A and B are shown apart, each in its own frame.
Chain A
């Protein structure tokens, strides 16, 4: 009976597995039999038609390199972190990969990325300039403790203010004078709020601030910290500045926007994309978001934009406000890197070179994605210089302050800062009783202590970091 059972189950298992395989396509083979080198490129959903658009940009590369074939695979941003982790761990990754600017140091730290110093060197030579890329890129492309450049800058994420010209005008405030300082900015927003403007039957709020369920929380608050002369960690990444008075005052200034009611509390439970839609629907007068929003505002409805809305017909872009320590803005974006596991480093570097240093390719892709180019030369194109809204990009990029490129930034940002800033936003929203500045200070203190712990453990566990650190300190 038992034997019978076993035999029976054996056949059934085999049968079931066969069933499972029905409809399963044969596995893809990376080695092409035509002798072509096949490269795998992982990119995120940067444009509305991610695969088609990237392939369109790659057409010229493919024509120039008939022996190289590029397989584009699109990842979603939220999946990318998981998949790149898994790929880095298992060593079965793609050849070329798009990485967020702040991820580069982390992935470099795992030891999965190839040095691309020679790509940068040749770019400097080809473009006949020592700094072909925007300033912030250099921080991101060579992590603090890394020996060499491990990624090439591709696109830059900058965040202008989008404002409703009609509303600001009705309230009698001018955005360019308002953003000269934080105080004038607050005053202008208060004025818009007290003007209680309705357009098209809708009350227009002065500004919209998204809440904590979002990956932008840190990017939103950080400019206020550095704008006040503070920081999270110092430039060499060995001392924590988050509980400095300057940093605390920066965070408090940010909270003023929430506390004063110029941004409705209801938005605190929404994500950036959701509040962004409120702007599209004409319910917000001022809104800060990545430059990609511009493409969306300009594109007609039938192509997935919001080009026909009242907001899209009456908006302008402006520089975010300048703090006491000057106008210091967020700058992020994407880099391209090569996995060490690649079988074709030469071809991969060629592809990297094309995507990041070919003016046409960078221009075309940035136009499609709405991101700002990392390649400086592209800003000279009339596409940027002749458009009122995009002319601002170069300024935004120049005011951009990169995050310190420390290998533990990912953890620091996604876990410690996200959590603590989330709690701080809750305090400001008074969800747990009355607002108390001491509570905010306490959260920042805990965050700073946690970061200290993290920094300490990172530096202690890696003797090579300490050596690097000595060198960095000496250089300063």
Chain B
């Protein structure tokens, strides 16, 4: 090999090595950003990639001779099921976020966080769409002054939807509090009802009372439940949890029964409440002894109530009053029939629905659908199928959640104001002082230089209490409060970082040839003009670089900001620390927060990197 080629080969190898190093160097940052887009469970189980969403069955309904099955991630399918087996007619997974479903004749309504309210026609194609943004906008117009309320960790906006012959009702969790949306099918008009418009508390679930032909609805909320007259669009019954014998906690499930009764489920307990009679609630019974796990769904079939429990299916005679285990029909071996033991996350029975006497459909946590028939007093699992598989899901919503949980805008604003102010102050003051230090001889110059260096030697922690007390005293004496204000922080940081900036800039000014300004002075410039139009431009790269250096350093300061700011004036480090303290187990949100804290300086750096590089390197050699 010729020496020349060898040299070239080594050169190429070195270049490759450089880029390998660059890549390895960036890996932690990339990992941070990647994890900020993952699901927390994926992170916690050590999964490197992004997985598929869980397609939990959350909707089962009969439609003529077919079954409609929907899942929370926008999966929907039409099945034909009977004793002979189960065949999928048509299925699709739209990958919508937290869909809920409602039947409307041959059509189907879906309410999801990202797609809003949509109507699907008989062939499961989207026929009409009302954007969540539209809903939101109208909502904002109607209730502009409602306070920011719910802490959302997961962005689940649409929770429940019901369609009647003339209207579509959806219970929505909006940023400004939960409430009811009413869509008039004929006119397309949207109306909103919430705490500000006659509903006594926030509601998040809407249910239709069977047999009322869409007239009577039940609205469930965190504080109680309401009867809703759908024709008149008003509340006709209101009950709060913990009153009139209602359970103290919001029940996990509710199901309106015929003859004005409503069944509530809490854990493994079932209560029946007579709505109109004002009678006390009666406890139907508890499935606790059956050890089928918590009740996750309810279905009504004639006079029998079906409970889909995490690990099985149980039926209870509704009229029997206090039920006993002997009246419950158990499905033996259902677990294996449902393939619930597949060792997949969340493969538990989560939905149950009844078609007609003795015909049931159950849904699982991973999209399993099984037909169960009752024959001779026993339940037999028939055909089974799976919903169309779920989509991969990038959790960009972590950022939305982050923004909701933290007043990040405030932090960002504070940080930007403080950092920029300190940067400007440092640039101006340090230019002057650095120039003076580099050019003029004055008494105590040496001491000044050393004391600047010495300020860098003091452990910040020593300052902390004296500073706080001094600031308090100044505040008391002068009436100008320093603590808890942005300008107090600016003052503090300026004092901290100006000396160091002077130290850096001194080198720059020293490096500028004296002849330059002498020439300017000879040309008739005033000393100030010479400084302004000759020295400053010459030193500009250094000034900018040190300014950005100060910006970055201030952006990084945690200890003092922690003590000297309050809720309105907190900077990003304080916000991040608060967040990390409160959400230690939400790695996804933590990584999102870390990314957000880094992004502004990254952008700044990218824009200014040329100056930083040339400025800082020039300063380095000049000592």
Contact = CB atoms under 8 A, between A and B. Distances in A.
A16 B498 CA distance: 13
A265 to B, nearest CB: 15
A382 B440 CA distance: 82
Given A383-B248, A387-B248, A23 B486 contact: yes
A52 B421 contact: no
B472 A92 contact: yes
B173 A302 contact: yes
Contact of B566 (A73, A85, A276): A73
Nearest to A55: B147
A48 to B, nearest CB: 5
Contacts of A304: 151-154
Nearest to A25: B568
Given A5-B436, A45-B582, A302-B156, A24 B487 contact: yes
A273 B585 contact: yes
B487 A386 contact: no
Nearest to A298: B249
A16 B472 contact: no
B480 A310 contact: no
Interface string A1-31: 1101100110011001101111111010000
A394 to B, nearest CB: 15
Contacts of B310: 166, 310, 313-314
B123 interface: no
A16 B425 contact: yes
Contacts of B348: 200, 310, 313
A200 B581 CA distance: 30
A17 B487 contact: yes
Given A49-B149, A303-B150, A304-B151, A82 B156 contact: no
Interface string A157-182: 00000000110010000000000000
B476 A92 contact: yes
Interface string A276-290: 111011100000000
A21 B487 contact: yes
B356 interface: no
B555 to A, nearest CB: 16
Interface stretch (B132-140, B288-296, B452-460): B288-296
Contact of B432 (A12, A198, A388): A12
Interface in A146-160: none
Contact of B151 (A20, A74, A82, A303): A303
A8 B342 CA distance: 78
Nearest to A45: B582
A86 B465 contact: yes
A448 B137 CA distance: 64
Given A2-B442, A24-B487, A200-B345, A83 B149 contact: no
A8 B432 contact: yes
Interface in A399-436: none
B312 to A, nearest CB: 12
Given A52-B149, A313-B310, A382-B242, A20 B491 contact: yes
Contact of B296 (A76, A273, A313): A313
A201 B294 contact: no
B528 A4 contact: yes
A89 interface: yes
B44 interface: yes
Interface of B: 40-41, 44-45, 147, 149-154, 156, 159, 173, 204, 222, 242, 247-249, 252, 267, 291, 293-294, 296, 310-311, 342-348, 417, 421, 424-425, 428-429, 432-433, 436, 440, 442, 465, 468-469, 472-473, 475-476, 479-481, 485-487, 490-491, 494, 527-528, 562-563, 566-568, 577-578, 581-586
Given A16-B425, A200-B344, A281-B44, A48 B151 contact: yes
Main secondary structure of the interface of A (DSSP, over half): helix
A127 interface: no
A89 B465 CA distance: 9
Interface in A359-400: 382-383, 386-388
Contacts of B204: 302
B291 A16 contact: no
Contacts of B578: 76, 79
Given A25-B568, A388-B267, A1 B428 contact: no
Contacts of B425: 13, 16-17, 19-20
A23 to B, nearest CB: 6
B81 to A, nearest CB: 26
A90 B585 contact: no
Contacts of A278: 44
A18 B153 CA distance: 40
B345 A201 contact: yes
Contacts of B563: 82-83, 86
B476 A52 contact: no
A198 B343 contact: yes
A310 B311 CA distance: 11
30 contacts: A1-B440, A1-B527, A4-B527, A5-B436, A12-B428, A16-B429, A20-B486, A20-B490, A49-B151, A52-B149, A73-B567, A79-B578, A82-B563, A83-B563, A90-B469, A91-B472, A166-B310, A198-B343, A202-B345, A271-B584, A274-B585, A276-B585, A298-B249, A302-B152, A304-B153, A313-B293, A313-B294, A313-B348, A386-B247, A387-B249
A33 interface: no
B585 A277 contact: yes
A200 B343 contact: yes
Contacts of B311: 166
B567 A74 contact: yes
Contacts of B417: 22-23
B582 A76 contact: yes
Interface in A288-303: 298, 301-303
A393 to B, nearest CB: 13
A2 B437 CA distance: 11
A284 B517 CA distance: 74
A9 B502 CA distance: 14
B468 A12 contact: no
B430 to A, nearest CB: 11
B44 A82 contact: no
A413 to B, nearest CB: 19
B342 to A, nearest CB: 8
A202 B267 CA distance: 23
Contacts of A92: 472, 475-476
Contacts of A281: 41, 44-45
Nearest to B147: A52
B429 A13 contact: yes
A78 interface: yes
Contacts of A9: 429, 432-433
B293 A166 contact: yes
10 A-B pairs with the lowest CB-CB distances in the bound complex, closest first: A277-B585, A302-B156, A273-B584, A20-B490, A90-B472, A201-B343, A16-B425, A304-B153, A27-B481, A313-B294
Contact of A12 (B291, B429, B566): B429
A92 B150 CA distance: 33
Nearest to B346: A200
A310 B346 contact: yes
Contacts of A89: 465, 468-469
A274 B584 contact: yes
Given A2-B436, A52-B147, A90-B472, 8 more contacts: A8-B432, A19-B424, A165-B293, A200-B343, A200-B346, A200-B348, A304-B153, A386-B247
A38 to B, nearest CB: 16
A77 B581 contact: yes
A314 B293 contact: yes
Contacts of B491: 17, 20
A235 to B, nearest CB: 33
A44 to B, nearest CB: 11
A201 B154 CA distance: 24
Interface in A65-118: 73-74, 76-79, 82-83, 85-86, 89-92
Contacts of B149: 49, 52
Contacts of B585: 273-274, 276-277, 280
B469 A82 contact: no
